[in-house]
A = this chain, B = another copy of it.
């Protein structure tokens, strides 16, 4: 009659919403199918809305169910994190920050942050994950991540961005390429070569910026390969499959037979920004932000 929603309901709901199949969902949850059926039904009664459509042989979500699914994902993630935080604080630690980053942030910004944290707040724990721009935004929105390092100018509502590092671009050439820093004047000297770039969907802003650099010199680059890994890009350059344009700091940390020509005169910069949820209350995140102000 007058039941209340419980977390159990959410866990069950999510299983069904993911499987769209009561028996399989019940198996995954290690409960019986009839039990699951009644719990979902009860849930629908409490909420006063149909969540699933059970047609002939097919289970699907209603719009309300669709909406609830997203919310439940967030709530359960947030809850997991809260439990962890409570435990850490109870143990005298400050908590945990879950950090996502683009590979190119690992050369400079992220290591400095970690060093700073270790020194000033040794009780703050961190988890690190290398993710694409898009994956980071998603993870932050669903509260699987507290802080991201991305190359984006705009982010969805509810998130804040702040630039933390500006980098020049560098041309990456095979070691024995005829052009060198001394004779480099303008990028159109290599306009006819094949270009190897990071994929658009890995970082659309990077891609657009590189194209605009070429455009400013009056040519459209012929892009022969795209990759999401700097390692791969350098390897391809090493093997003379093309040349690349990347943020300058990427030159450190790789052992490759390639040379970098920093293009200081070019006005475009590779901007690395941090992103976080505006209303994130993770106390350990605050400490991170304080530190990043000073870097």
The chain A residues found within 8 Å of chain B, CB to CB, are: 4-8, 47-51, 53, 55, 62-64, 67-68, 70-71, 74-75, 78-79, 82-83, 85-87, 89-91, 95-96, 279, 281-284
> Is B78 a contact of A47 with CB atoms below 8 Å?
no
In the A-B complex, the 4 residue pairs with the smallest Cβ-Cβ separation, listed nearest first, are A49-B90, A64-B90, A64-B89, A71-B82
Closest residue of chain B to A44, judged by CB? Answer: B90
A9 nearest CB neighbor, chain B only: B7
B48 touches A67 (CB 8 A): no
Most buried by B among A62, A85, A87, A281: A281
Establish whether residues A279 and B49, one from each chain, have CB atoms under 8 Å apart when the complex forms: no
Kindly identify which residue among B48, B49, B63 contacts A282, using a CB–CB cutoff of 8 Å: B63
In the bound assembly, the distance between CA atoms of A281 and B53 in angstroms comes to 8
Question: Chain B contacts of A96 at CB under 8 A?
Answer: 63
Distance between A80 CB and nearest chain B CB, rounded to angstroms = 10
Within the complex, what minimum Cβ distance (angstroms) separates A149 from chain B?
22
> If the complex has contacts A5-B7, A7-B4, A7-B7, are A86 and B283 also in contact, measured as CB distance less than 8 A?
no
* A281-B62 in contact given A8-B4, A83-B5, A86-B68 (Cβ < 8 Å): yes
The CA of A223 and the CA of B279, in the complex, are separated in Å by 47
In the bound complex, residues from chain B placing their C-beta under 8 Å from that of A50 are 90
Can you tell how many copies of this chain the complex includes? 2
Are A87 and B279 in contact, with the CB atoms below 8 A? no
| B281/A70 in contact, CB under 8 A | yes
Contact call A90/B62, Cβ cutoff below 8 A: yes
A78 contacts across to B, CB distance below 8 A: 75
B63→A85 contact, CB < 8 A: no
CB distance from A276 to the nearest CB of B (A): 15
A67's nearest neighbour on chain B, judged by CB, is: B89
Among A49, A70, A96, A284, chain B packs the most CB atoms within 10 A around the CB of: A49
Could you write out 10 A-B pairs with CB less than 8 Å apart? A5-B79, A47-B87, A47-B90, A48-B87, A62-B90, A63-B284, A67-B86, A67-B89, A68-B82, A71-B281
Which residues does chain B contribute within 8 Å of A4, judged by CB atoms?
Answer: 7-8
Q: Given A7-B5, A50-B90, are A75 and B79 also a contact pair (CB < 8 Å)?
A: yes
Closest to A85 in B: B67
Which residues of the other chain, B, contact A281 by a CB distance below 8 angstroms? 53, 62-63, 70-71, 74
Q: Is the Cβ of A279 less than 8 Å from the Cβ of B55?
A: yes
* Residue among A50, A55, A82 having the largest count of chain B Cβ atoms under 10 Å: A82
User: Are B8 and A83 within 8 A (Cβ)?
Assistant: no
Q: Complex: how many Å from CA A89 to CA B50? A: 10
Q: How far is the CB of A101 from chain B (nearest CB, A)?
A: 21
CA distance A263 to B283 in the complex (A): 57
Known: A47-B87, A71-B86. 10 other contacts (CB 8 A): A47-B83, A49-B86, A49-B87, A62-B283, A63-B96, A63-B283, A67-B86, A71-B82, A71-B85, A75-B79
